[in-house]
Amino acid sequence: MPEQSQTLSIILPAKNEAAALPELLTDLHRLYPQAELLLVDDGSTDDTADVAARHGARVVRHPYSLGNGAAIKSGARAATGNILVFMDGDGQHNANDIPALLAKLQTGYDMVVGARTSHSQASLGRNFANRIYNRLASWIVGHRIPDLTSGFRAVGTARFREFLYLLPNGFSYPTTITMAFFRAGYGVAYVSITAGKRLGKSHIRPLQDGVRFLLIIFKVGTLYSPLKIFLPISFVFFMTGVCYYIYTFVTEHRLTNMSALLFITALLVFLIGLVSEQITTLIYSKQA
Protein backbone atom coordinates (compact mmCIF):
# COMPACT_ATOMS: atom_id res chain seq x y z
CA MET A 1 0.00 0.00 0.00
CA PRO A 2 1.42 3.44 -0.90
CA GLU A 3 2.77 5.16 2.19
CA GLN A 4 0.76 8.34 1.64
CA SER A 5 -2.52 6.39 1.67
CA GLN A 6 -1.82 4.64 4.96
CA THR A 7 -3.53 5.62 8.19
CA LEU A 8 -2.41 4.47 11.60
CA SER A 9 -4.41 3.43 14.65
CA ILE A 10 -2.54 2.83 17.90
CA ILE A 11 -4.58 0.65 20.26
CA LEU A 12 -3.92 0.52 23.99
CA PRO A 13 -5.82 -2.06 26.07
CA ALA A 14 -5.78 -0.81 29.65
CA LYS A 15 -7.16 -1.65 33.05
CA ASN A 16 -6.32 0.68 35.95
CA GLU A 17 -3.32 2.18 34.14
CA ALA A 18 -3.91 5.87 34.91
CA ALA A 19 -0.36 6.32 36.29
CA ALA A 20 1.39 5.08 33.14
CA LEU A 21 -0.77 6.72 30.48
CA PRO A 22 0.24 10.41 30.55
CA GLU A 23 3.87 9.81 29.55
CA LEU A 24 3.00 7.14 26.99
CA LEU A 25 0.25 9.17 25.31
CA THR A 26 2.45 12.27 25.23
CA ASP A 27 5.19 10.30 23.47
CA LEU A 28 2.71 8.83 21.00
CA HIS A 29 1.31 12.28 20.14
CA ARG A 30 4.85 13.59 19.62
CA LEU A 31 5.84 10.77 17.28
CA TYR A 32 2.55 10.32 15.42
CA PRO A 33 0.40 13.45 15.72
CA GLN A 34 -1.89 12.28 12.88
CA ALA A 35 -2.43 8.77 14.24
CA GLU A 36 -5.65 7.64 15.88
CA LEU A 37 -4.99 6.90 19.55
CA LEU A 38 -7.55 4.41 20.77
CA LEU A 39 -7.65 3.36 24.41
CA VAL A 40 -9.87 0.44 25.38
CA ASP A 41 -10.79 0.74 29.05
CA ASP A 42 -11.40 -2.81 30.26
CA GLY A 43 -13.54 -2.04 33.29
CA SER A 44 -11.08 0.18 35.15
CA THR A 45 -11.93 1.34 38.65
CA ASP A 46 -9.56 4.31 38.54
CA ASP A 47 -9.57 7.33 36.20
CA THR A 48 -7.87 5.55 33.29
CA ALA A 49 -10.54 6.64 30.80
CA ASP A 50 -10.49 10.28 31.95
CA VAL A 51 -6.71 10.48 31.80
CA ALA A 52 -6.72 9.03 28.28
CA ALA A 53 -9.41 11.43 27.10
CA ARG A 54 -7.53 14.44 28.53
CA HIS A 55 -4.47 13.38 26.54
CA GLY A 56 -6.33 13.21 23.26
CA ALA A 57 -7.12 9.51 23.03
CA ARG A 58 -10.40 8.16 21.81
CA VAL A 59 -11.83 5.91 24.54
CA VAL A 60 -13.81 2.71 24.13
CA ARG A 61 -15.19 1.43 27.43
CA HIS A 62 -16.12 -2.02 28.62
CA PRO A 63 -18.83 -1.96 31.32
CA TYR A 64 -16.79 -4.50 33.31
CA SER A 65 -13.53 -6.35 32.80
CA LEU A 66 -13.81 -8.71 29.82
CA GLY A 67 -10.12 -9.55 29.47
CA ASN A 68 -7.10 -8.34 27.54
CA GLY A 69 -8.06 -10.24 24.40
CA ALA A 70 -11.57 -8.77 24.49
CA ALA A 71 -10.04 -5.28 24.72
CA ILE A 72 -7.86 -6.04 21.70
CA LYS A 73 -10.90 -7.16 19.71
CA SER A 74 -12.89 -4.09 20.70
CA GLY A 75 -10.01 -1.87 19.62
CA ALA A 76 -9.58 -3.66 16.29
CA ARG A 77 -13.30 -3.31 15.53
CA ALA A 78 -13.41 0.38 16.43
CA ALA A 79 -10.16 1.43 14.71
CA THR A 80 -10.37 3.49 11.54
CA GLY A 81 -6.74 3.12 10.38
CA ASN A 82 -5.59 0.53 7.87
CA ILE A 83 -2.53 -0.27 10.01
CA LEU A 84 -2.90 -1.25 13.65
CA VAL A 85 -0.25 -0.96 16.35
CA PHE A 86 -1.03 -2.73 19.62
CA MET A 87 0.78 -1.67 22.79
CA ASP A 88 0.32 -2.37 26.48
CA GLY A 89 -0.92 0.61 28.44
CA ASP A 90 1.22 -0.14 31.51
CA GLY A 91 4.43 1.59 30.45
CA GLN A 92 6.36 -1.53 29.38
CA HIS A 93 6.37 -0.66 25.69
CA ASN A 94 8.32 2.30 24.35
CA ALA A 95 6.71 4.50 21.72
CA ASN A 96 10.15 5.03 20.15
CA ASP A 97 10.12 1.38 19.02
CA ILE A 98 7.09 1.86 16.77
CA PRO A 99 9.05 3.24 13.76
CA ALA A 100 11.16 0.06 13.64
CA LEU A 101 8.02 -2.11 13.57
CA LEU A 102 6.39 0.00 10.86
CA ALA A 103 9.56 0.07 8.77
CA LYS A 104 9.71 -3.73 8.86
CA LEU A 105 6.03 -3.93 7.98
CA GLN A 106 6.69 -1.83 4.87
CA THR A 107 9.10 -4.45 3.52
CA GLY A 108 6.21 -6.81 2.80
CA TYR A 109 5.38 -8.58 6.05
CA ASP A 110 1.79 -8.93 7.22
CA MET A 111 2.60 -8.60 10.93
CA VAL A 112 5.67 -7.43 12.84
CA VAL A 113 6.11 -8.27 16.52
CA GLY A 114 8.29 -6.55 19.10
CA ALA A 115 10.36 -9.39 20.57
CA ARG A 116 11.50 -8.74 24.13
CA THR A 117 15.10 -9.45 25.06
CA SER A 118 15.70 -11.96 27.86
CA HIS A 119 16.51 -9.26 30.43
CA SER A 120 13.22 -7.53 29.60
CA GLN A 121 11.15 -10.32 31.15
CA ALA A 122 9.33 -9.53 34.39
CA SER A 123 10.81 -12.47 36.29
CA LEU A 124 13.01 -15.52 35.88
CA GLY A 125 9.95 -17.76 36.06
CA ARG A 126 8.16 -15.96 33.25
CA ASN A 127 11.38 -15.83 31.22
CA PHE A 128 11.73 -19.63 31.56
CA ALA A 129 8.08 -20.20 30.65
CA ASN A 130 8.30 -17.95 27.60
CA ARG A 131 11.39 -19.82 26.39
CA ILE A 132 9.40 -23.06 26.48
CA TYR A 133 6.51 -21.50 24.55
CA ASN A 134 8.89 -20.01 21.98
CA ARG A 135 10.70 -23.28 21.32
CA LEU A 136 7.50 -25.29 21.11
CA ALA A 137 5.91 -22.82 18.71
CA SER A 138 9.08 -22.64 16.60
CA TRP A 139 9.12 -26.43 16.26
CA ILE A 140 5.47 -26.57 15.28
CA VAL A 141 5.56 -23.85 12.60
CA GLY A 142 9.08 -24.52 11.34
CA HIS A 143 10.15 -20.91 11.83
CA ARG A 144 12.01 -19.23 14.67
CA ILE A 145 9.64 -17.44 17.04
CA PRO A 146 11.67 -15.37 19.52
CA ASP A 147 8.67 -14.05 21.47
CA LEU A 148 5.33 -15.84 21.22
CA THR A 149 3.49 -13.83 23.89
CA SER A 150 4.50 -10.25 23.10
CA GLY A 151 1.57 -7.84 22.94
CA PHE A 152 3.54 -5.17 21.04
CA ARG A 153 2.89 -5.59 17.32
CA ALA A 154 2.06 -3.82 14.06
CA VAL A 155 -0.30 -5.43 11.56
CA GLY A 156 -2.55 -4.65 8.64
CA THR A 157 -6.11 -4.04 9.78
CA ALA A 158 -7.75 -6.26 7.16
CA ARG A 159 -5.42 -9.16 7.91
CA PHE A 160 -5.95 -8.88 11.67
CA ARG A 161 -9.73 -8.71 11.44
CA GLU A 162 -9.82 -12.00 9.53
CA PHE A 163 -9.01 -13.80 12.78
CA LEU A 164 -11.07 -11.90 15.35
CA TYR A 165 -13.45 -14.85 15.72
CA LEU A 166 -10.52 -17.04 16.81
CA LEU A 167 -9.13 -14.75 19.49
CA PRO A 168 -9.84 -15.57 23.15
CA ASN A 169 -10.86 -12.91 25.63
CA GLY A 170 -7.92 -13.57 27.96
CA PHE A 171 -4.18 -12.92 27.86
CA SER A 172 -3.40 -15.63 25.30
CA TYR A 173 -4.48 -13.55 22.30
CA PRO A 174 -0.84 -12.97 21.12
CA THR A 175 -0.29 -16.73 20.93
CA THR A 176 -3.49 -17.29 18.98
CA ILE A 177 -2.99 -14.51 16.44
CA THR A 178 0.64 -15.46 15.83
CA MET A 179 -0.18 -19.10 15.16
CA ALA A 180 -3.18 -18.10 13.03
CA PHE A 181 -0.97 -15.93 10.79
CA PHE A 182 1.58 -18.71 10.33
CA ARG A 183 -1.17 -21.24 9.59
CA ALA A 184 -2.71 -18.94 6.97
CA GLY A 185 0.66 -18.45 5.27
CA TYR A 186 1.01 -14.77 6.17
CA GLY A 187 4.45 -13.27 6.72
CA VAL A 188 5.45 -12.62 10.35
CA ALA A 189 8.65 -10.81 11.34
CA TYR A 190 10.25 -9.90 14.68
CA VAL A 191 12.09 -6.78 15.80
CA SER A 192 14.06 -6.80 19.04
CA ILE A 193 12.84 -4.39 21.73
CA THR A 194 13.66 -3.74 25.36
CA ALA A 195 10.55 -3.71 27.52
CA GLY A 196 10.53 -1.60 30.66
CA LYS A 197 9.04 -2.41 34.02
CA ARG A 198 5.33 -1.91 34.25
CA LEU A 199 3.88 0.84 36.41
CA GLY A 200 1.34 -0.29 38.96
CA LYS A 201 0.20 -3.79 39.83
CA SER A 202 0.33 -6.65 37.33
CA HIS A 203 -2.98 -8.30 36.40
CA ILE A 204 -1.30 -11.70 35.93
CA ARG A 205 -1.98 -14.19 38.74
CA PRO A 206 0.94 -16.66 39.07
CA LEU A 207 -1.01 -19.77 40.17
CA GLN A 208 -4.11 -19.47 37.99
CA ASP A 209 -2.23 -18.10 35.00
CA GLY A 210 0.49 -20.73 35.40
CA VAL A 211 -2.11 -23.42 34.78
CA ARG A 212 -3.57 -21.37 31.94
CA PHE A 213 -0.17 -21.01 30.27
CA LEU A 214 0.31 -24.79 30.43
CA LEU A 215 -2.91 -25.10 28.49
CA ILE A 216 -1.54 -22.59 25.99
CA ILE A 217 1.24 -25.03 25.18
CA PHE A 218 -1.35 -27.53 23.97
CA LYS A 219 -3.39 -24.81 22.32
CA VAL A 220 -0.37 -23.69 20.30
CA GLY A 221 -0.03 -27.15 18.82
CA THR A 222 -3.69 -27.88 18.25
CA LEU A 223 -4.29 -24.44 16.71
CA TYR A 224 -1.57 -24.86 14.11
CA SER A 225 -1.09 -28.60 13.47
CA PRO A 226 -2.82 -30.98 15.91
CA LEU A 227 -1.12 -34.08 14.53
CA LYS A 228 2.26 -32.69 15.60
CA ILE A 229 1.00 -32.95 19.18
CA PHE A 230 -1.18 -36.06 19.06
CA LEU A 231 1.03 -38.23 16.85
CA PRO A 232 4.04 -38.31 19.24
CA ILE A 233 1.72 -39.04 22.17
CA SER A 234 0.09 -41.86 20.19
CA PHE A 235 3.53 -43.22 19.30
CA VAL A 236 4.57 -43.27 22.97
CA PHE A 237 1.47 -45.27 23.93
CA PHE A 238 2.00 -47.63 21.00
CA MET A 239 5.67 -48.30 21.78
CA THR A 240 4.86 -48.77 25.47
CA GLY A 241 2.27 -51.34 24.45
CA VAL A 242 4.78 -53.10 22.19
CA CYS A 243 7.42 -53.23 24.92
CA TYR A 244 4.91 -54.46 27.48
CA TYR A 245 3.61 -57.08 25.07
CA ILE A 246 7.14 -58.38 24.41
CA TYR A 247 7.75 -58.56 28.17
CA THR A 248 4.51 -60.44 28.92
CA PHE A 249 4.95 -62.73 25.93
CA VAL A 250 8.40 -63.73 27.13
CA THR A 251 7.36 -64.14 30.77
CA GLU A 252 3.72 -65.30 30.46
CA HIS A 253 3.34 -66.24 26.76
CA ARG A 254 0.19 -64.19 26.33
CA LEU A 255 -1.25 -60.81 25.39
CA THR A 256 -2.40 -59.04 28.55
CA ASN A 257 -5.29 -56.62 28.98
CA MET A 258 -2.81 -53.81 29.71
CA SER A 259 -1.07 -54.28 26.35
CA ALA A 260 -4.44 -54.24 24.58
CA LEU A 261 -5.44 -51.10 26.48
CA LEU A 262 -2.21 -49.33 25.47
CA PHE A 263 -2.75 -50.24 21.79
CA ILE A 264 -6.34 -49.01 21.89
CA THR A 265 -5.29 -45.77 23.60
CA ALA A 266 -2.63 -45.20 20.93
CA LEU A 267 -5.25 -45.65 18.22
CA LEU A 268 -7.76 -43.34 19.92
CA VAL A 269 -5.19 -40.57 20.43
CA PHE A 270 -4.16 -40.82 16.78
CA LEU A 271 -7.77 -40.63 15.60
CA ILE A 272 -8.43 -37.61 17.84
CA GLY A 273 -5.42 -35.89 16.29
CA LEU A 274 -6.60 -36.78 12.78
CA VAL A 275 -10.08 -35.38 13.38
CA SER A 276 -8.59 -32.25 15.01
CA GLU A 277 -6.39 -31.76 11.95
CA GLN A 278 -9.43 -31.86 9.68
CA ILE A 279 -11.32 -29.40 11.88
CA THR A 280 -8.35 -27.03 11.88
CA THR A 281 -8.16 -27.24 8.09
CA LEU A 282 -11.85 -26.37 7.82
CA ILE A 283 -11.47 -23.40 10.16
CA TYR A 284 -8.61 -21.91 8.18
CA SER A 285 -10.30 -22.61 4.85
CA LYS A 286 -12.37 -19.49 5.58
CA GLN A 287 -9.26 -17.47 4.79
CA ALA A 288 -8.50 -19.35 1.56
Amino acid letter for position 217:
I
Instruction: Give the pLDDT band (50/70/90) at residue 39.
Output: very high
How is the beta sheet containing 83-86 ordered, strand by strand?
Answer: 58-62, 36-42, 8-14, 83-86, 153-156, 111-116, 188-193
pLDDT at site 227 = 87
Amino acid letter for position 235:
F
- Alpha-carbon span 205 to 275, nearest angstrom: 34
> Which of these, 264, 277, 86, lies nearest to 178 by C-alpha position?
86
How far is C-alpha 187 from the chain's CA centre? 15
Instruction: Give the pLDDT band (50/70/90) at residue 121.
Output: low
> Domain 3-224 carries which CATH code?
3.90.550.10
Inform me whether the pLDDT recorded for 122 exceeds 60.
no
- Sorted by where each begins, the domain ranges of the chain are 3-224, 227-287
pLDDT at site 55 = 92
pTM of the complete model: 0.80
- Alpha-carbon span 19 to 257, nearest angstrom: 64
Instruction: Give the pLDDT band (50/70/90) at residue 200.
Output: low
pLDDT at site 149 = 87
* Interval 255-284 mean pLDDT: 90
Amino acid letter for position 2:
P
pLDDT at site 198 = 59
Least confident of 20-29, 113-122, 183-192: 113-122
Tens of pLDDT, residue by residue over 52-109, are 999 999 999 999 999 999 999 999 999 999 999 999 988 889 999 999 999 999 999 9
**How high is the mean pLDDT of the chain?**
86
